[in-house]
Amino acid sequence: MPHKFLVHAPHDSVGVAITDIHAGETIDGVVLENNSLVSVSAVQDVPLGHKIALAPLAAGAKVVKYDVTIGIATAAIKPGEHVHVHNLKSARW
């Protein structure tokens, strides 16, 4: 498999794992809008279907997927980190 995650839009701050990603791997992802490649080094395991950070996010920063804000970072997040309920909260509540 040439890539391990998908990015929905060019300005997204996270990608979605399409296979399990293991800490220490340098992996490629594909941006669906334009087929460009994005690379990131995983610093944590990221399970299939979960998000991986593509850029540094400060605590309180908007997390963007589908080119829309999907939540707020509850802690600083480094590129390659697993993004999930432990460091992301809904922007709705």
Domain ranges of the chain: 5-89
Average pLDDT score over residue span 86-93: 87
For residue 92, what pLDDT is reported? 76
Going by pLDDT thresholds of 50, 70 and 90, the confidence category of residue 73 is very high
Residues 6 or more apart from 62 whose CB is under 8 A from it?
13, 69, 71, 72, 73, 91
- On the question of pLDDT at 82 being above 90, the answer is yes
- The 3-state secondary structure of 64-93 reads EECCEEEEEECCCECCCCEECCCCEECCCC
Predicted TM-score (pTM) of this structure: 0.94
Nearest Cα neighbor of 25 from 10, 8, 11, 5 is: 5
* pLDDT exceeds 80 at position 66: yes
Give domain 5-89's CATH number out of 2.30.130.110, 1.10.287.130, 2.40.50.140, 3.30.2310.20. Answer: 2.30.130.110
How confident is the model over 66-79, as a mean pLDDT? 96
pLDDT band at 93 (very low <50, low <70, confident <90, very high): low
Mean pLDDT of all residues in 49-70: 96
- Average pLDDT value over all residues in the chain: 95
